[in-house]
Structure 1
């Protein structure tokens, strides 16, 4: 989401830019397939694909792409299978990385539509032909697919639409490299995902580092509390700010319209409000519910509403890293949210 926002910002400011995406890796690499960065015509880079080993070369390639008005460039950094002229044997991670650099000039007008789709919580598929044995002129042509809509060929290159459809018959919003049945067309598809969200119940001072840390991680926060006087410090920092009554039906109605995949963090420190929010989240079967405080407090919250624990409630919330300060506790909480969203099951 942040990458698209950056592209939109560059387009709005009439700044040419290049989208660099990892299309394949082997061995140990800093980031993996699908990771993206943006380079503008001033040589400024947003995000990174390595620990700093390849960015200088990527920026040079991007500037050359813009200056020569080329559609794409392919860069390979080989530090596993053979000596790399840039990294050498003893520098960087011991892995190979292949990167697609895409000049967005040819479809800059589409960036706004992509951003709007992400705001609607829809995924967007962007595909680019990276090899064409039969017709090299097709290399660099791109298309976009929005959810519940037909594929849209960019730059009005309708002549190759059937070729793309043939190459992507099996692909539904997946990252990867695809070939048509004759092996003549190679297409790389990447997916843009909506920003991840968190629902935070509570607006005390300990929520401030949670919101700030989440913002640094590009998460969107929906905040809810029953105390209007606490809300002002979160203005401009949250996707939504909601003042609710300490009323079960109102709280449940508020949560009813939210995706059950969004994690709910309960940390208002008001016993009655927390108990109502906990019961509502459990009744609606949210997949992740985290509660601030010890397990004894959780048992009392459940007892208050005559509820029993349904599924696993994360209490105390956060990974066990020995956190003590509010800032450290925020890192602990967000670490557990990262683990939830990534589906990682290890310790």
Structure 2
């Protein structure tokens, strides 16, 4: 199950009045933890939960604690500390060795669903918002602002205002990846990106490509010629693109189209000498591209099967968007 917030809210929204619900949010961590501050999970009175706040070791106790929110319609704050031998976390067998503090909040019509329905609408429209939760064990008081300011981005996390604690974070929609080329080798790329909870747009104007049943994980499939798409709204919404058509002319058209996009990463499949031909066909030069071009695309992971190549490409996109160096955490891997 994807853990992206828009997916969790998509499960909740149709059933928001059919069951009792609790929003669980990690508001603070110290030391090692499975997920960091800002991670969320939705829980209902049928014993179902959507999303994860740990590797599975905390969820059953979080659900037990959540029931108290339904009893008094108030928040509850729980803390699990693996550093303290007397803490419940030791009994639960948590292996991360850190502390996790979680805010549990009842979600109901009486508290305007904590503005989660409005937040879901923003995410569905590829917009972002600043979500603020008051940290106490009284009735919930949450705020949502659609105006993103530098102060809001800078002040994410726990803040103290007039003797009250608040947790603030900027919430944006899942990453949006456009994949140009719907051949067989694009199937694992689409599947992996979708498994990460990303929005996936697949484009290929050729008949016989993007075949029905082969790309069920893609949210959108476009079969129009690329040169007809320069005014498409999604161009200003995508975060990254992969160009995999295996066709010089189509690759060139894709790179030209992406000149009008908001993509901060574009990956092109193929060796450097082929890229020169693609750019020449598009009448473009690397110096005049409006985006950084990753070519050859992907991380050096080894393997030659489509699944290995897909993993290499999606991993590089992930590392770029998350602004990480894609190095081994343990440094055990050596060339």
* Superposition TM-score, scaled by structure 2 size: 0.83
Distance 1:51 1:235, change over 3 A: closer
Distance 1:57 1:272, change over 3 A: same
Deviation (angstroms), 1:191: 3.7
Instruction: Output the CA distance in 2 between the equivalents of 1:108 and 1:286.
Output: 34
What CA RMSD, in Å, does the superposition of the two structures yield over aligned residues?
2.9
2:117 alignment partner in structure 1: 112
1:331 alignment partner in structure 2: 311
Deviation (angstroms), 1:189: 2.6
Distance 1:305 1:210, change over 3 A: same
Instruction: Output the CA distance in 1 between the equivalents of 2:268 and 2:61.
Output: 46
Deviation (angstroms), 1:325: 2.0
Structure 2 residue 176 is the aligned partner of structure 1 residue 197: yes
1:243 to 217, 223, 235: 223
Structure 2 residue 100 is the aligned partner of structure 1 residue 97: yes
1:71 to 70, 74, 82: 74
Deviation (angstroms), 1:109: 8.1
SS in structure 1 opposite 2:293? coil
Deviation (angstroms), 1:129: 2.1
Instruction: Output the CA distance in 2 between the equivalents of 1:84 and 1:191.
Output: 31
Instruction: Output the CA distance in 2 between the equivalents of 1:179 and 1:270.
Output: 57
Structure 2 residue 131 is the aligned partner of structure 1 residue 126: yes
2:45 alignment partner in structure 1: 41
Distance 1:285 1:191, change over 3 A: closer
Instruction: Output the CA distance in 2 between the equivalents of 1:174 and 1:259.
Output: 27
* Superposition TM-score, scaled by structure 1 size: 0.80
SS in structure 2 opposite 1:258? helix
- CA deviation digits over 1:162-219, x for unaligned, max 9? xxxxxxxx54685322212x4x212223443212101111111111221122111111
1:152 alignment partner in structure 2: none
The answer to whether the 8 A contact 1:260-1:287 is kept is: no
Deviation (angstroms), 1:125: 3.0
1:264 to 237, 241, 251: 241
1:302 to 266, 276, 279: 279
The answer to whether the 8 A contact 2:29-2:36 is kept is: yes
Greater shift after overlay, 194-203 or 105-114? 105-114
Distance 1:206 1:92, change over 3 A: same
Greater shift after overlay, 25-34 or 3-12? 3-12
Deviation (angstroms), 1:58: 0.6
Q: How many residues align?
A: 315
Greater shift after overlay, 291-300 or 224-233? 224-233
Q: Which has the larger radius of gyration?
A: 1
The answer to whether the 8 A contact 1:124-1:144 is kept is: no
Structure 2 residue 195 is the aligned partner of structure 1 residue 216: yes
SS in structure 1 opposite 2:188? helix
The answer to whether the 8 A contact 1:10-1:16 is kept is: no
1:162 alignment partner in structure 2: none
2:16 to 8, 11, 36: 11
Q: Which runs of 5+ in 1 are unaligned?
A: 150-169
2:301 alignment partner in structure 1: 321
SS in structure 1 opposite 2:135? strand
Deviation (angstroms), 1:108: 2.7
Instruction: Output the CA distance in 1 between the equivalents of 2:92 and 2:145.
Output: 42
The answer to whether the 8 A contact 2:300-2:312 is kept is: yes
Distance 1:20 1:297, change over 3 A: same
Which runs of at least 4 in structure 1 moved beyond 6 Å after TM superposition? none
